[in-house]
Amino acid sequence: MTARLRALPLLARYIPRTMPWVTLLTGCLTSLAIFTVLVRVAHHDQATFWLDQGTIRLSLLPAVAALAFVPYLPFRPLTRATPVPAWVTPVGHLLLAAPILALTYWAQQRIMTTAVPPHTPQDPHEPTYALIAQLVGWFAVTVAVAAWIARSRFAELAGAVAAPIAFSIIALAWYLPITAKFLVHPPAIAHSVAIGWYSIAAVALTLTCLAMRDHWHRYTRVLRRIAAPGRGRGQSGEPSSKRGDASPARGAGATVAR
Amino acid sequence: MTGAALPGPALPGPVPQGAGAAAAGPVMAQPRLRIVLSLARIEAVRIGRGWLVLGGLLGGVLLIGAWYWSGQVQPLWWEAGWRIGGGQLILAMAMLAAAQLAAGRSRRDGMADLYASFPATAGLRTLALLASLAGAVPASLLMIAAGVVTVQLDGPIGAPSLMVLVAGVVLVLAAGAAGIAIGTRFPHPLAGLFGALVLFLPAATTHLLPGSARWLLPWQVIQDQLGSLPGPLTGYPPAGAHAAELAGLAIAAAIVAVLMTARSGRARAWLAAGGVLAAAVICFAGTAQLEPVPTAELNHLATEMADPASAQHCDTAGQVRYCLYPGFGRELSSVAAPVNKVLALLPVRPSPTLTVRQVLSVDFTDAGLTRGQAQQQISRWLAQTRDAPGTVAATSAIYLTAGAWPASGGSLTDADFNVALAAADWAVGFTAGGRIQPYPPRDEAREAVAIWLAILATHPPAGELQQGVTRQGFSPRPRSGSQPGRPAFFSIWFYPDGGAGAVTAPGPQVIPASEYLLAKAMTGLPERRVNQVLKDRWATWVSARTTAAQLAAALGVTS
The model carries a pTM of 0.82
Give the per-residue pLDDT at B545: 85
Q: Quick check: A238 pLDDT over 70?
A: no
ipTM: 0.76
Q: A163 in contact with B at a CB cutoff of 8 Å?
A: yes
Give the per-residue pLDDT at B44: 92
Residues in chain B predicted with pLDDT less than 50, given as ranges, are: 1-26, 29
Write out chain A residues lying below 8 Å of B210, CB-based. 41, 45
Percent of chain A residues past pLDDT 70, beyond the cut: 76
Pick the residue from chain A with its C-alpha nearest to B197: A62
Check if the beta carbon of residue A68 is closer than 8 Å to that of residue A162: yes
Percent of chain B residues past pLDDT 90, beyond the cut: 38
Write out chain A residues lying below 8 Å of B189, CB-based. 69, 157, 159-160
What's the length of chain B? 559
> Would you call B97 and A69 a contact, using CB atoms and an 8 Å cutoff?
no
How many CB pairs (< 8 A) connect A and B? 66
Nearest to A156 among B3, B193, B210 (CB): B3
Chain B residues at the A interface, defined by Cβ less than 8 Å, are 1-3, 52, 55, 59, 66, 94, 97, 101, 109, 188-190, 192-194, 197, 200-201, 204-205, 207-210
Query: For A161-174, what is the mean pLDDT?
Result: 91
> Would you call B190 and A160 a contact, using CB atoms and an 8 Å cutoff?
yes
Helix (H, G, I), strand (E, B) or coil at B314: strand
Strand B354-359 and strand B469-474: the pairing is unpaired
What does DSSP assign to residue B120? S
Write out chain B residues lying below 8 Å of A58, CB-based. 201, 204-205
Q: Quick check: A249 pLDDT over 50?
A: no
Nearest to B197 among A42, A65, A159 (CB): A65
User: B345-364, pLDDT tens digit by residue?
Assistant: 888 878 788 899 999 989 99
Pick the residue from chain B with its C-alpha nearest to A23: B190
Interface test with A, best of B101, B190, B223 (most A CBs within 10 A): B190
Q: A71 in contact with B at a CB cutoff of 8 Å?
A: no
Q: Quick check: A15 pLDDT over 90?
A: no
Give the per-residue pLDDT at A219: 56
Helix (H, G, I), strand (E, B) or coil at B313: strand
**Buried b or exposed e, range B70-105, using 16+ CB within 10 angstroms:** ebebbbbbbbbbbbbbbbbbbbbbbbbbbbbbbbbb
Instruction: Write the CB contacts of B225 (distance below 8 Å, at least 6 apart in sequence).
Output: B362, B363, B366, B368, B369
CA distances from residue B440 to B255, B443, B556 in whole angstroms, order as listed = 71, 9, 26
Give the per-residue pLDDT at B11: 40
> Would you call B205 and A27 a contact, using CB atoms and an 8 Å cutoff?
no
**How many Cβ atoms are within 10 Å of B373's Cβ, its own excluded?**
17
Give the per-residue pLDDT at B262: 83
